[in-house]
């Protein structure tokens, strides 16, 4: 009798514990970070088919390549997500080195591995080294969140902010970087060519015209992955007889490339945080007062797009996608396309406050990560941004803090 | 017909003799080294070839950072054992495992032992490399947790076995201590340990090589040593090492690269501080010679540990199961997959890629051979750069039993 009673009681307790545990299952699992605290994720309004393609692209973006799947033979990183962790800014570990071009006549080091250094190699191969005397610059990978909105803009919209000869006399020019497209480039109705060249809008020097070119180049130059668009592995010409890897080309299919491009196009834009905070609001006014917004154009609206979720959307990237002379302090002596060596594309500021969650809890800002704080990044601005920098310097510490708080809210 | 008659008479007699002799087998101790032989299937009145095995199945409800994977039913493994004593000085044991349904089918062990002396037993076949204790003593029904320790799966690639040969033996040190050693030369690792989709140094990647039971990747052997001591009341501790060249330094007879080594050191313990308390743990450290021109993502150093605390709570009275026992268990574990510093950052900068884990749960053992478990684990993983930790958790319910 006792045994039966005890057994019944034990079974009841076990059953109750199980019911409790499984009913509380959801609460026992880690919660998702708030949407505004992360950079990854799809934009709102995608159809079911688009959401599925986004998911495929997301998976491909995270795919880690190995020597068995085509990595290298010389490379910089083994996956897209390795450079763009959480779709945010890159870490110095993922720094690219570009070399070989110092003016608009082109790259003189193409037969010595230019324009990008592949400083890592799979076992059995030798990585490249920077040729002696070659002009070079180091590029930290930019954030990719919201990049589809920038891709959706028309050339006419970008050109509306261009002022190559500083006609308005504000000391700020803003010039597009005209790039010779690769053979596979298909111009859209929103492109405005000039002498067979097209406006670049992606990359530190705005050397990539669209996201397909950016993606193909990244697969090829960063990971050493061939596609139908770039069928030959990057080869180290500095070593006699070094060949390609033994994996048949192309190493990724067209559909993978297209999925990744679609993924990039439909990543959600960074969500501003604490917008109603009085300090943030005051910082926003200071941002305008000291003329940061002359180049870091806050607001844009997309034209009609083949992706409905991208059509006629107002967004806040804080860039004009144009080149600006940033002064001798940031002139590395290297350039791409028609840009001068001191010219850099205005970096979008959206997502700036979330950079730390992709950069290991600290800031690595400017094109090569040399600035370790927002204030030092501002102080590195020169050339056309000198006035803004000087105005920043004249701010009292309270106003400086408000401006920084605003930038961190983006 | 006559032969059949004779066989049908003698085989059962032989079987009885075998099981008796096994029970009294002087080669078998209670130590981790002999875990393979300390299985219930081998202690009954069995046919000369004893058959046994164990089953492990569970539910898994988990997720990571708010992404809920939902509920899964997992058939982790079905393992079959065969044991035979061929003579008083020779014995055979094999363990064949079906993992994740039939996704992986492995010969985990196929051992032939020839006893020359109690201290010198020659062993050949497919050897479960004695590194740490979990690799040898890994049967599901013995453990309170459904999840295997991370250090014993993602650093030491349990279950890690290789064709090879060597010697082992055991002896007594006074009245209270037992001692044993194992020394083998086996097949080793290959270069997948630094070229795999986990994007980190991962010794278990070699298990993907389908030729590893047939041909050495580079024509060199891996050494493996272990010694362990057991006190009759305190428990057991052991130290072990395995290492060798992992890369293809020679292609078609031509030397094409330096010989690059991988070495694993482990320390394990299993203590009984109280009558109803057991503490089990393992610490492992991996050293790999990674080419300088390769990729810091694949670290040259790794370490990790786990510590399990198992406490018997009571002996519930369950009709038909007079020996039932209820346990509470807790596990703390940590793995650092890359102990290096970034060379790209001025002044260094730690490479993270590290994980902390907690695992807790209750296990009911209605009989010694069977365990019913409810587990909950929570893990924090920081990526290479040390960004905010990704959090994973799961609630699991499972059964495991010898048969």
Is-contact A60 A259, C-beta < 8 A?
Answer: yes
Residue A327 pLDDT > 80: yes
| Minimal CA separation from B127 to chain A, in Å | 28
Judge whether A224 is closer than 8 Å to chain B, CB to CB.
no
In B275-389, where do the E strands start and end?
277-288, 301-314, 325-336, 354-367, 370-382
Confidence band, pLDDT 50/70/90 cuts, at residue B329 = very high
**Which fold does the domain B60-80+132-402 belong to in CATH?**
Porin (2.40.160)
Chain B interface mutation, best of A18, A21, A30, A247, highest count of B Cβ atoms under 10 Å? A30
A85 at interface of B, judged by CB pairs closer than 8 A: yes
pLDDT at B44 over 70: no
Which DSSP string corresponds to B117-148?
A: ETTEEEEEEEEE--STTTTTS--GGG-S-SSP
Q: Considering only alpha carbons, which residue of chain A is nearest residue B342?
A: A93
Contact A358 B295 (CB under 8 A): no
Q: Which residue has the higher pLDDT, A250 or A239?
A: A250
pLDDT at B26: 66
Nearest chain B residue (CA) to A127: B293
| A246 has a chain B CB within 8 A of its CB | no
Nearest CA in chain B to A79: B199
**Which one of A93, A223, A371 would you mutate to disrupt binding with B, by most B Cβ within 10 Å of its Cβ?**
A93
* % of chain A with per-residue pLDDT over 90: 81
Instruction: Tell whether A73 is within 8 A of chain B (Cβ).
Output: no
The Cα–Cα gap between A242 and A264 comes to 34
B291 touches chain A (CB under 8 A): yes
Q: How confident is the model at residue B48 (pLDDT cuts 50, 70, 90)?
A: confident
User: Does A370 lie at the interface with B, CB-CB under 8 angstroms?
Assistant: no
Tell me the shortest Cα–Cα distance from A343 to chain B, in angstroms: 25
Taking an 8 Å cut-off on Cβ atoms, the answer to whether A91 and B66 are in contact is no
Quick check: A215 and A84 in contact, CB under 8 A?
no
Taking 90 as the threshold, does the pLDDT of residue B151 lie above it?
A: yes
Which site among A360, A361, A368, A372 would you substitute to test the B interface, given the most B Cβ atoms closer than 10 Å to its Cβ? A360
Which residue do the tokens 């007879």 mark? Answer: B253
| pLDDT at residue A26 is higher than 90 | no
What percentage of residues in chain B have a pLDDT greater than 90? 67
Average pLDDT, chain A: 92
pTM of the model: 0.87
What is the average per-residue pLDDT within A319-344?
95
Residue A187 has pLDDT above 80, yes or no: yes
Residues of chain B with pLDDT > 70, as a percent, come to 91
Query: What is the phi/psi pair of residue A87, to 5°?
Result: 65, 15
Q: Do A29 and B383 touch (CB under 8 A)?
A: no
Question: What pLDDT digit, counting tens, does each position of B165-174 carry?
Answer: 999 999 999 9
Test mutation, B59, B69, B199, B386, chain A, max A CBs within 10 A: B199
Residue carrying structure tokens 């501080």: B273
Give the helix/strand (H/E) hosting B263.
strand B261-274
* Residues with Cβ within 8 Å of residue B224, at least 6 apart in sequence: B127, B129, B130, B131, B164, B166, B182, B183, B184, B185, B186, B240, B241, B242
Q: Omega of the bond prior to B55 within 30 degrees of 0, cis?
A: no
Task: Flag whether residue B68 sits within 8 Å of chain A, measured between CB atoms.
Answer: yes
Instruction: Measure A391 CA to nearest chain B CA, in Å.
Output: 31
Distance to chain B for A10, nearest Cα, Å: 8
The 8 Å CB, 24+ separation contacts for A402-405 are: A402/A279, A402/A280, A402/A282, A402/A283, A402/A286, A403/A283, A403/A286, A403/A287, A403/A290, A404/A283, A404/A374, A404/A375, A405/A274, A405/A277, A405/A279, A405/A280, A405/A283
Task: State whether residue A390 is helix, strand or coil.
Answer: helix
Reported as a single tens digit per residue, the pLDDT across B178-192 is 999 999 999 999 999
Kindly identify which residue of chain B lies nearest to residue A95, measuring between CA atoms: B344
In this complex, the residue of A4, A32, A78 whose CB is nearest that of residue B65 is A32
How close A64 comes to chain B (CA, Å)? Answer: 5
pLDDT over 70 at A390, yes or no: yes
Judged against a pLDDT cut of 90, whether residue A237 lies above it is answered with no
What's the Cα-to-Cα distance from A159 to each of A164, A201, A321, A323, B336, rounded to whole Å?
A: 10, 11, 9, 11, 51
Give the Cα-Cα-Cα angle A121, A83, A259 (nearest 5 degrees): 100
Residues in chain A closer than 8 A to B364 (CB atoms): 14
Examine the pLDDT at A227 and tell me if it is beyond 60: yes
* Cβ distance of A10 and B316 shorter than 8 Å: yes
pLDDT at B15: 40
| pLDDT-derived band at B25, boundaries 50, 70, 90 | low
Q: Contacts for B125-128 with beta carbons within 8 Å, 24 or more apart?
A: B125/B163, B126/B94, B126/B161, B126/B162, B126/B163, B126/B164, B126/B213, B127/B161, B127/B162, B127/B163, B127/B164, B127/B165, B127/B166, B127/B184, B127/B186, B127/B224, B128/B36, B128/B95, B128/B159, B128/B160, B128/B161
Strands, E assignment, A72-189:
74-75, 96-99, 116-117, 120-121, 136-139, 177-179
Q: What is the pLDDT of residue B114?
A: 96
Task: Please tell me the predicted confidence (pLDDT) of residue A376.
Answer: 96
Nearest-CA neighbor of B303 among B229, B203, B385, B167? B203
> Would you call B395 and A127 a contact, using CB atoms and an 8 Å cutoff?
no
- From B197, B344, B376, residue closest to A66, measured CB to CB: B197
A55 touches chain B (CB under 8 A): no
Alpha helices in B275-361 (DSSP H): none
Tokens for B96? 């064949």
Q: Inform me whether the pLDDT recorded for B212 exceeds 60.
A: yes
Chain B CB within 8 Å of residue A93 CB: yes
Asked if A92 lies within 8 A of B383 by C-beta distance, the reply is: no
Contacts of B210 in chain A (CB under 8 A): none
d(CA A94, CA A141): 7
Kindly report, residue by residue over A134-185, the tens digit of the pLDDT: 999 999 999 999 999 999 999 999 999 999 999 989 889 999 999 999 999 9
Judging contacts by C-beta atoms under 8 Å, the chain B residues touching residue A2 are: 317
Distance CA B93, CA B136 (A): 13
Residue B228 in tokens: 């362990």
Peptide bond before residue B70 is cis, with ω within 30 degrees of 0: no
Region B150-168: mean pLDDT is 95
Would you call A208 an interface residue with chain B, using a CB distance cutoff of 8 Å?
A: no
A chain contacts of residue B352, beta-carbon cutoff 8 Å: 360
Question: What local confidence, expressed as pLDDT, does residue B21 receive?
Answer: 47
**Cβ under 8 Å to B: A residues 105-124:** 120-124
Q: Spell out the long-range contacts of A45-51 with Cβ–Cβ below 8 A and sequence spacing 24 or more.
A: A45/A308, A45/A309, A46/A266, A46/A307, A46/A309, A47/A308, A50/A262, A50/A266, A50/A307, A50/A309
- Domain definitions of chain B by residue range: 60-80+132-402
Residue A5: what pLDDT? Answer: 52
pLDDT in tens, A54-66: 999 999 999 999 9
CA dist., res. A195 & res. A198, Å (int): 8
A315–chain B nearest CA distance, Å = 27
What is the per-residue pLDDT across A253-311, written as a single tens digit (0 to 9) for each?
999 999 999 999 999 999 999 999 999 999 999 999 999 999 999 999 999 999 999 99
How far is the C-alpha of A344 from the C-alpha of A366, rounded, in Å?
10
pLDDT tens readout for residues B80-139:
999 998 888 999 999 999 988 888 888 999 999 999 999 999 999 999 999 999 999 999
> Distance between CA atoms of A218 and A231, rounded to whole angstroms?
14
Strand partners, B278: B310
* Interface confidence (ipTM) of the complex: 0.85
Window B:358-397, CB contacts with A under 8 Å: 362, 364, 374, 376, 378, 383-388, 391-395, 397
Q: Is there a contact between A25 and B61 if contact means CB atoms under 8 Å apart?
A: yes
Cβ <8 Å between A18 and B374: yes
pLDDT of residue B13: 38
Phi-psi region of B117 (alpha: psi -120 to 50; beta: other; left: phi over 0): beta
CA atoms within 13 A on the CB side of A66: 15
- Least confident range from A293-307, B1-15, B195-209, B277-291: namely B1-15
Separation in Å, CA of A218 to nearest CA in chain B: 18
- Strand runs (DSSP E) across B118-234, as ranges? 120-128, 161-173, 177-186, 222-231
HSE-up of residue A91 (Cα within 13 Å, Cβ side):
29
Contact B384, A14 (CB under 8 A): no
What does the alpha-carbon distance between residue A339 and residue A321 come to, in Å, rounded to a whole number?
A: 13
B47 confidence band (pLDDT: 50, 70, 90):
low
Chain B partners within 8 Å of A31 (Cβ): 65-66
Beta bridge partners of B309: B279, B330
Q: Name the pLDDT band for B35 (thresholds 50, 70, 90).
A: confident
Q: Contact A29/B294, CB-based, under 8 Å?
A: no
For residue B69, list chain A residues with Cβ-Cβ distance below 8 A: none
> Is the distance from CB of B320 to CB of B294 less than 8 angstroms?
no
Nearest CB to B384 within list A10, A71, A93:
A93
Per DSSP, the residues of B351-381 read: ---EEEEEEEEEEEEEETTEEEEEEEEEEEE
Asked if A167 is an interface residue toward chain B (Cβ–Cβ < 8 A), one would say no
Which region among A291-295, B9-13, B65-69 has the lowest average model confidence (pLDDT)?
A: B9-13
Beta carbons of B68 and A78 less than 8 Å apart: no
Report the mean per-residue pLDDT for chain B: 89
């Amino acid at each position: 009798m006792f045994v039966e009673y005890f057994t019944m009681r034990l079974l009841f307790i076990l059953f109750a514990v199980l019911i409790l545990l499984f009913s509380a299952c959801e609460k026992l699992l880690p919660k998702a970070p708030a949407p505004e605290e992360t950079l990854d994720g799809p934009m709102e309004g995608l159809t079911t088919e688009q959401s599925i393609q986004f998911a495929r692209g997301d998976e491909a973006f995270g795919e880690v390549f190995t020597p068995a799947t085509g990595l290298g033979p010389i490379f910089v990183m083994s996956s897209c997500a390795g450079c763009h962790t959480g779709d945010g800014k890159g870490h110095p570990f993922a720094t690219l080195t570009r070399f070989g071009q110092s003016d608009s006549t082109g790259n003189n080091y193409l037969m010595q591995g230019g324009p990008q250094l592949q400083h890592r190699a799979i076992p059995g191969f030798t990585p490249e080294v920077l040729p002696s005397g070659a002009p070079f610059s180091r590029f930290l990978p930019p954030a990719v969140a919201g990049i589809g909105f920038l891709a959706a803009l028309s050339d006419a919209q970008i050109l509306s902010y261009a002022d190559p000869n500083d006609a308005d006399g504000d000391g700020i020019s803003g010039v597009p970087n005209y790039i010779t497209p690769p053979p596979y480039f298909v111009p859209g109705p929103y492109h405005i060519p000039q002498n067979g060249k097209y406006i670049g809008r992606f990359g530190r020097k705005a050397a990539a015209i669209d996201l397909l070119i950016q993606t193909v180049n990244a697969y090829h130059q960063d990971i050493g992955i061939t596609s139908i668009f770039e069928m030959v592995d990057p080869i180290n010409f500095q070593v006699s007889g070094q060949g390609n890897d033994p994996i048949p080309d192309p190493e990724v299919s067209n559909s993978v490339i297209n999925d990744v491009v679609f993924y990039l196009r439909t990543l959600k834009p960074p969500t501003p945080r604490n917008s109603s905070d009085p300090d943030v609001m005051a910082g926003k006014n200071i941002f305008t007062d000291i003329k940061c917004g002359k180049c870091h154009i806050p607001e844009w609206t997309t034209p009609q797009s083949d992706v409905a979720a991208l059509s006629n959307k107002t967004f806040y990237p804080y860039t004009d996608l144009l080149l600006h002379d940033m002064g001798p302090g940031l002139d590395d002596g290297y350039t791409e396309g028609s840009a001068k060596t001191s010219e850099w594309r205005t970096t979008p500021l959206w997502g700036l406050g979330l950079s730390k969650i992709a950069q290991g809890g600290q800031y690595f800002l400017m094109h090569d990560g040399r600035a370790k704080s927002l204030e030092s990044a501002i102080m590195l601005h020169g050339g056309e941004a000198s006035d803004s920098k000087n105005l920043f310097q004249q701010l009292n510490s309270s106003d400086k803090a408000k401006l920084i708080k605003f930038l961190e809210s983006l | 017909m006559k032969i059949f008659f004779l066989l049908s008479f003698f085989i059962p007699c032989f079987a009885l003799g075998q099981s008796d002799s096994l029970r009294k087998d002087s080669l078998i101790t209670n130590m981790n080294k002999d875990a393979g032989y300390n299985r219930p299937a081998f202690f009954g009145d069995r046919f000369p070839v004893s058959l046994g095995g164990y089953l492990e199945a569970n539910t898994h409800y988990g997720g990571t950072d708010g992404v809920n994977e939902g509920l899964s039913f997992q058939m982790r493994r079905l393992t079959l054992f065969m044991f035979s004593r061929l003579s008083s000085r020779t014995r055979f044991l094999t363990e064949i495992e079906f993992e994740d349904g039939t996704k992986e089918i492995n010969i985990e062990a196929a051992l032939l032992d020839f006893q020359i002396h109690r201290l010198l037993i020659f062993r050949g076949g497919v050897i479960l490399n004695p590194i740490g204790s979990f690799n040898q003593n890994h049967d599901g029904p013995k453990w309170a947790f459904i999840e295997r320790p991370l250090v014993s799966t993602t650093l030491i690639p349990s279950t890690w076995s290789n064709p090879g040969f060597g010697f082992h033996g055991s002896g007594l040190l006074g009245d209270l201590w037992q001692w044993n050693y194992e020394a083998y030369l086996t097949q080793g690792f290959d270069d997948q340990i630094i070229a795999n989709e986990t994007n980190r140094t991962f010794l278990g990647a070699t298990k993907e090589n389908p030729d590893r039971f047939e041909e050495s990747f580079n024509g060199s052997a891996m050494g493996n040593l272990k010694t362990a001591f057991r006190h009759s009341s305190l428990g057991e501790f052991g130290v072990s090492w395995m290492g060798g060249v992992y890369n293809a330094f020679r292609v078609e007879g031509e030397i094409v690269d330096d010989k690059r080594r991988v070495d694993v050191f482990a320390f394990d313990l299993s203590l009984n501080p109280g009558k109803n308390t057991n503490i089990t743990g393992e610490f492992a450290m991996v050293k790999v010679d990674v080419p300088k021109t390769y990729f810091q993502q694949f670290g040259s150093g790794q370490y990790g540990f786990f510590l399990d605390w198992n406490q018997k709570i009571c002996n519930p009275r369950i009709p038909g199961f007079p020996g039932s026992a209820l346990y509470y268990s807790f596990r703390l574990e940590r793995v650092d997959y890359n102990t290096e510093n970034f060379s790209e950052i001025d002044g260094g900068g730690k490479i993270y890629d590290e994980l902390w884990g907690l695992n807790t749960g209750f296990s009911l053992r209605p009989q010694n051979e069977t365990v019913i478990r409810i587990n909950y684990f929570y893990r924090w993983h920081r990526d290479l750069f040390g960004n905010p930790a990704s959090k994973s958790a799961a609630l699991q319910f499972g059964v495991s039993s010898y048969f």
